[in-house]
Structure 1
Amino acid sequence: MPLRRVSVVSLVLALALNGPAAAAEPTPAWVELAPGLSAWSGPATTVLLAETEHGALLVDSETAKAAPALGQALAGRKPLRYVVNTHWHGDHAGGNEALAATGATLIAHENARRRMAEPTFLKHHNRVIPPLPAAALPGVTLAGDGRIRLDGLEARLIHVPAAHTDGDLLVHFPAANVLHMGDCYFNGFYPIIDTGVGGTVDGLIAALDRGLALSDPRTRIVAGHGPIGIRADLKAARDMLAEVRERVAKLKRAGRTREQVLAAAPTADLDPVWGQNWVKPAQFVGSVYDSLP
């Protein structure tokens, strides 16, 4: 499918779909968050499926390795019309090719699509990620915000600049009160800030603030990593991030080098709660330091 660049602030995609899909019992791996919206926690991330009478939209596509399992989980569900990548990382876009082969339209921010299309250095893994094959690249890109309409369902695509990366999208289903934050939200542990491709701690705080503004106490919030959360969980992640940002900024303003800041262990009191997963305190603090002015 040829690439279509969308430069307007709002994108509306609508389909007149004919013929209902065959009904099937939901796969046990899917957890319903709201009527028509279900989450599937794969080996790397959590994808979100929104189904209407005649079709479905999927947020993120997991890894290429997990594509067969995801495809099996999608078997018997409504036909997949759209796949939205929240950003370019392989654990969120690795299954694109397999899903595009079913006829789904791939959608991402233009910066994310560019990263997928070229060799890109992944700083926190210290290696160059090769480009995805052409069939895995989004055919529709956004320069800003957008929205998708599928039957009566509306999904709002919200670009949050310079957050986890430079091409992050939040995906909000306002009628269902469900929000997918991608990797702008790690629930319960330190996040990754991909400073190699424009991620910043200030942009990530702004993204979490945007998520808070879109949510209420009943909102189900899908994290790129970690369990499904609620607004209180998102607020805790935001407050932790802002606190660490201030601590590291204070040390940096005092002239401390990166190595000196890491040696000072400014998150030592937070580590027992937030530093017990795969993102280690030094990795997190280093990325905060690197992204501060």
Structure 2
Amino acid sequence: MKKIILYSILGVLAISLGWLTVDLSPSMRSFIKLRVIEQGPNITYYLGNGGNSGLIIGANEAVLIDTKFGSFSKKLHKSVIKKIGAKKLTIINTHYHTDHTGGNALYDGSAILSGNYGESSWLLENDVNTLPSQWIKTDTTLDLGGISIEIIPVGANHTKQDLFVYIPEENVLFTGDVYSHQTHPVIKEGSEPNIENWENTLKKFANSDRSIEQVVPGHGDLATKTDLYTAAAYFADLNLLSKKAFKRKYKRWYKLPFMATSEKNWIYIQNHNVKNP
């Protein structure tokens, strides 16, 4: 009997280790593993543990971009509160998916800003205790004291009301999931994405006159302005290539076991007849 139990335990361990080896691709590991990067005294990046987050601290106030979810959001909250001390904190959600908004409720008393989803749409994705206090409809600038935050609504891309956040003094752009570094973009029909806008938004900011030295994606490692071109090309290929050619060109990408595969993306494009040649 003891041998049976021992073999059962070993079998479970073997299966678990196999799953970790096969399924945790570099992109999935980057989603789970937390990496904290301090960029000078003003900015801290919290990459992974769900959606990427960023803390910007000015002389008078602070801003947190995206709050993660579950236990990850609690770890982030502990770090943020320790860093900002008594400074006023504002939360910005780049979009309404829960891996970016799940920790909102932890910041009691803080203003929470997001794109113009409206309450009914927000609650399709989130709990009521995560609701923003302000829907951002036009470009908005926050002065934190010595450093400013530009909140830029980019409309329907990854979701129906995405936001970018730009920090001109640091030449940093936060894109949310409109750009995720070296992973498949997640195309979720219920979030009302717009593929043509998505491609055009990436091109627009890649060609922007804004000085952008650092791009903070929704998922994955820190990137550069040039990486936005690569992501735009992905959508161009989705729109223009046949399924067979697409699979051949992106064979390695196709095998990534991330949130959404390129096959699912292709099916979405076919069903919605976007730029179908």
Tell me whether the two structures share a fold, i.e. TM-score over 0.5.
Answer: yes
Match among 229, 251, 257 for residue 271 of structure 1? 251
Task: Report if the CA contact (8 A) 1:163-1:193 is conserved.
Answer: no
Q: Which residue of 2 aligns with 1:220?
A: 214
Q: Which residue of 1 aligns with 2:10?
A: none
Match among 36, 39, 42 for residue 36 of structure 1? 42
CA-atom RMSD, angstroms? 2.4
Match among 50, 61, 69 for residue 55 of structure 1? 61
AA in 1 matched with 2:261: K
Q: Which residue of 2 aligns with 1:200?
A: 194
Task: Report if the CA contact (8 A) 2:117-2:160 is conserved.
Answer: yes
Q: Which residue of 2 aligns with 1:180?
A: 174
Q: What's the secondary structure of 2:63's corresponding residue?
A: strand
Structure 2 CA distance for partners of 1:159 and 1:64, relative to 1, 3 Å: same
Please state how far the C-alpha of 1:52 moved relative to its aligned partner: 1.0
User: Which sections of structure 2, spanning at least 5 residues, go unmatched?
Assistant: 1-33
| TM-score, length basis structure 1 | 0.74
Higher normalized helix content (fraction of residues): 2
Please state how far the C-alpha of 1:189 moved relative to its aligned partner: 1.9
Task: Report if the CA contact (8 A) 1:187-1:225 is conserved.
Answer: yes
What is the rounded CA distance, in whole Å, between the counterparts of 2:223 and 2:209 in structure 1? Answer: 11
Q: What's the secondary structure of 1:179's corresponding residue?
A: strand
Q: Relative contact order (alpha carbons < 8 A, sep ≥ 6): 1 or 2 greater? A: 1
Match among 132, 150, 165 for residue 127 of structure 2? 132
AA in 2 matched with 1:36: N
Deviation sequence 1:44-63 (CA, Å, 0-9, x none): 11101100123210111111
Task: Report if the CA contact (8 A) 1:188-1:274 is conserved.
Answer: no
Q: What's the secondary structure of 1:268's corresponding residue?
A: helix
Q: What's the secondary structure of 2:37's corresponding residue?
A: strand
Match among 266, 273, 282 for residue 263 of structure 2? 282
Deviation sequence 1:125-164 (CA, Å, 0-9, x none): xxxx4x412x321111112322222223221111112200
| TM-score, length basis structure 2 | 0.77
Q: What's the secondary structure of 1:184's corresponding residue?
A: coil
Deviation sequence 1:168-226 (CA, Å, 0-9, x none): 00101112100000000011121012332320211111221233134778611011111
Within the alignment, does 1:211 sit opposite 2:205 as a pair? yes
Q: Which residue of 2 aligns with 1:234?
A: 228
Count of residue pairs the alignment pairs up? 238
Task: Report if the CA contact (8 A) 2:253-2:262 is conserved.
Answer: no
Structure 2 CA distance for partners of 1:98 and 1:215, relative to 1, 3 Å: farther
Q: Which residue of 2 aligns with 1:83?
A: 91
Task: Report if the CA contact (8 A) 1:172-1:178 is conserved.
Answer: yes
User: Which sections of structure 1, spanning at least 5 residues, go unmatched?
Assistant: 1-27, 121-128, 252-260
Within the alignment, does 1:191 sit opposite 2:192 as a pair? no
Matches within 5 A, 1:33-182: 33=39, 35-78=41-84, 79-99=87-107, 101=108, 103-111=109-117, 113-117=119-123, 120=124, 129=125, 131-133=126-128, 135-182=129-176
What is the rounded CA distance, in whole Å, between the counterparts of 1:236 and 1:176 in structure 2? Answer: 23
AA in 1 matched with 2:105: E
Q: Percent identity?
A: 21
Task: Report if the CA contact (8 A) 2:139-2:153 is conserved.
Answer: yes
Q: Which residue of 1 aligns with 2:17?
A: none
